[in-house]
Amino acid sequence: MKTGKLTWASALLGMLATAGCKVGPNYKAPAMPAPPAYSEDGHNGAWAAAKPADSADRGAWWMIYGDKELDDLEQRCATSNQSIAAALHAYEQAHDLVRQSKSSLYPTVSIGAVASRNRISSTRPLRPSNAAQDYWDFLIPLNISWEPDFWGRIRREIESTSANAQASAAELANTRLSLQGMLAVSFFQLRGIDLQAQLLRNTLDTYSQALKLTEDRFRGGLSSDSDVEQAKAQLEQARAQMIDLGVGRAQLEHAIAVLVGAPATGFHVSEQPLVGDPPSVPTGIPSEVLQRRPDIAAAERRVAASNAQIGVAKAAYYPTIVLGASGSIESSQITQLFNAGSAGWNAGPSASQILFDAGRRRAQVDFAVAQREQATALYRDQVLSAFRDVEDQLSALRVLEEEASVQNRAVEAARKSTELSTLRYKRGLAPYLEVLTNQTIELTDERAAASLVAQRILASTRLQIALGGGWVSTQLPQN
């Protein structure tokens, strides 16, 4: 009898020793070759080769623009934006699923208590004649159940939920990057409107002086009333353009209010026009984008989660083995409930194996494989999109810089032409229509140049977003 017990225990220990194996494929990140360099890097080495200070916070990428108000708004966005808060709670849910999966590695223990009053039928077959017809039944059961992870199903499930939790963390980082990037874009668009407003205010001063000049000449009999009316029309048209800017500015203020978690009513961003060229943005090498973009990290983690699900599906081909034990104390009298004679127990393993399921398990494995292939394709597409995003903004910076240089020359020429035509008009050598035409051309060129200032800053901002905003995949939590 003792030998039998040892044999049974040895067999059980042998089975537990095999619990280290895991069915299903081990994960290997999808291969995705990256080009050695960006095609636009050679066009403008001045900003592409710049390096940030080692002491700078790489995550606070917007600080490179040196605007304190933007810095404050970005901090408010990080702490008060409701979409970021929702993404944070989504990550917490994913982390809770990891804890839930890990709990399956351990036994389940339950205890209960039952007290019931029972009555036995007096006409029940084989009922002892001396048995009580009414009695109490007091019961305290204890149950222990454990499914050893012989085939790695639970560990593959933990792999899957852990990878999904990491994907959720990357999606949180991507949400934060996207919304803070949207805030920066909206902020600089608003500053661009402020630059346009400053330009129009200066233009209104110039047009007011032109109107006064035509009125003085009209009173002196040197100009016609038509010149005066044209000057008035030009002045009012510029005022209308100035008013129209207020609509766009108000809408951008309202958008920023939502991004920082504030009500639009009463929210205000101070007026300050954009100045200068965009700051230098270090691009690094294309392969770094694979680690710096949180959306790419999220897509790669989804591949890992799908790969682990193949092992979960394949584990269904193997027997289910459960080690269980139960015990109880039971008595018809509560005073005798804890006596030694009231105890009862049973223990032992159980196993079950599916013999026929009409292809259900095979379908589940095929489904898991198809999910992994889909996640792999989405990951590769995300990588290609990231390379495209960077190249788009690098191209935009190069082209807009060239365009700004040409446009600035056009502004200088238009200003010179306006000065000459105004001088000719004062001397009576040119009609006022010539002045009007040149002033209109000058305003158009100046507004185009101001628009390019904003577009270059926006392209710089979008480039930082495309590069991941200083985030790196090593920031993913280890569950």
Q: Three-state secondary structure along 338-399?
A: CCHHHEEEEEEEEEECCCCCCCHHHHHHHHHHHHHHHHHHHHHHHHHHHHHHHHHHHHHHHH
Q: Determine the Cα–Cα distance for residues 168 and 175; give it in Å rounded to an integer.
A: 10
In the prediction, which pLDDT does 441 show? 94
In the prediction, which pLDDT does 476 show? 87
Angle formed at CA 424 by CA 419 and CA 428, multiple of 5 degrees: 145
Burial of residue 470 (number of CB atoms within 10 Å: 0-12, 13-18, 19+) = middle
Phi and psi torsions of 72, nearest 5°: -65, -40
In the prediction, which pLDDT does 21 show? 82
- Token pair 């081990």 is at which residue? 26
Q: Which of 180, 173, 175 is nearest to 83 (CA)?
A: 175
Q: Which of 134, 251, 121, 273 is nearest to 199 (CA)?
A: 273
Question: pLDDT tens across 375-418, in order?
Answer: 999 999 999 999 999 999 999 999 999 999 999 999 999 999 99
Residue 310 near residue 373 (C-beta atoms within 8 A):
no
In the prediction, which pLDDT does 41 show? 62
Residue 151 near residue 318 (C-beta atoms within 8 A):
yes
Q: Which of 131, 136, 153, 85 is nearest to 315 (CA)?
A: 153
In the chain, the N- to C-terminal Cα span, in Å, equals: 47
Q: Is 34 helix (H, G, I), strand (E, B) or coil?
A: coil
% the chain with pLDDT above 70:
91
Q: Determine the Cα–Cα distance for residues 27 and 353; give it in Å rounded to an integer.
A: 28
All structural domains of the chain with their residue ranges: 18-104+149-318+360-475, 108-146+319-352
More confident residue, 54 or 449: 449
In the prediction, which pLDDT does 50 show? 31
Angle formed at CA 188 by CA 182 and CA 193, multiple of 5 degrees: 125
3-state helix, strand, coil in the chain (%, to 5): 65, 10, 25
Check: pTM over 0.75? Answer yes or no.
Answer: yes
Q: Is 111 helix (H, G, I), strand (E, B) or coil?
A: strand
In the prediction, which pLDDT does 106 show? 94
In the prediction, which pLDDT does 42 show? 52
Question: pLDDT tens across 32-77, in order?
Answer: 888 888 887 654 443 333 333 333 345 799 999 999 999 999 999 9
Tokens for 201? 């205010």
- The average pLDDT across 112-134 equals 80
In the prediction, which pLDDT does 252 show? 97
Distant-in-sequence, close-in-space partners of 404: CB < 8 Å, separation ≥ 6: 449, 452, 453, 456
Tokens for 87? 């993404």
Q: Which CATH class is domain 18-104+149-318+360-475?
A: mainly alpha
Residue 48 near residue 283 (C-beta atoms within 8 A):
yes
Least-confidence region, from 54-58, 438-442, 463-467: 54-58
Q: Determine the Cα–Cα distance for residues 296 and 190; give it in Å rounded to an integer.
A: 31
- The distance between the two most distant Cα atoms of the chain, rounded to a whole number of Å, is 139
Mean of pLDDT over the chain: 88
More confident residue, 131 or 314: 314
User: Over 80: is that where the pLDDT of 235 sits?
Assistant: yes
Q: Determine the Cα–Cα distance for residues 326 and 64; give it in Å rounded to an integer.
A: 66
In the prediction, which pLDDT does 53 show? 33
- The average pLDDT across 150-173 equals 94
Question: pLDDT tens across 2-36, in order?
Answer: 445 445 444 454 455 445 688 989 999 898 888 88
Q: Is 264 helix (H, G, I), strand (E, B) or coil?
A: coil
- The average pLDDT across 188-197 equals 96
Least-confidence region, from 230-239, 433-442, 470-479: 470-479
Residue type, 453: V
Would you tell me which CATH number, out of the four given (3.40.605.10, 3.10.580.10, 2.20.200.10, 2.60.40.1180), belongs to the domain 108-146+319-352? 2.20.200.10
Query: Residue 286 — very low, low, confident or very high, per pLDDT cuts 50/70/90?
Result: confident
Which stretch, 189-198, 221-230, 332-341, has highest mean pLDDT?
Answer: 189-198
% the chain with pLDDT above 90:
69
User: Over 90: is that where the pLDDT of 336 sits?
Assistant: no
Residue 227 near residue 432 (C-beta atoms within 8 A):
yes
